[in-house]
Amino acid sequence: MMREKAMVQSIPVKVYRSVDRLMVATPMPGLQPEDISVKVTDDNQIVIHGDLRGVLKDIKELLVDEWSVGSYHRELLLPNSVDAEHGNVTYGNGVVVVALPLSEKTIPAVITAS
């Protein structure tokens, strides 16, 4: 039975820091970079969201469905202030990595994946 709309899944994260950057990594398999949005708010929250487009569009009959691809969503308070305007998002092998330069004050922005 095909699903009308995929349920939103909370996703696990790894957050780590280097001398000058804060990194957030999370698995989001089955998406394309354009399906992913990342927003850092002025109150130091990061919102990572991914929507799958065309869910199982070429499948004629789904026989076993034990795991889901998308939609994904996670909100998290960042441990440090960051400059999201100079951050970047990469997506490869089903993993999203958000790299955010550390900053004296959080600078909010919406970042697209590449």
Taking the alpha carbons at both ends of the chain, their separation in whole angstroms is 34
Lowest mean pLDDT segment, chosen from 2-11, 17-26, 36-45, 104-113: 2-11
Are 10 and 92 contacting, i.e. CB atoms less than 8 angstroms apart? no
**Digit-coded pLDDT (tens) for 85-110:** 999 999 999 999 999 999 999 999 99
CATH architecture of 9-112: Sandwich (2.60)
Q: What pLDDT does residue 18 have?
A: 96
Confidence (pTM): 0.84
**Nearest to 46, CA basis, from 90, 9, 89:** 89
Q: Higher confidence at residue 34 or residue 114? A: 34
**Digit-coded pLDDT (tens) for 42-73:** 999 999 999 877 665 566 777 787 777 778 99
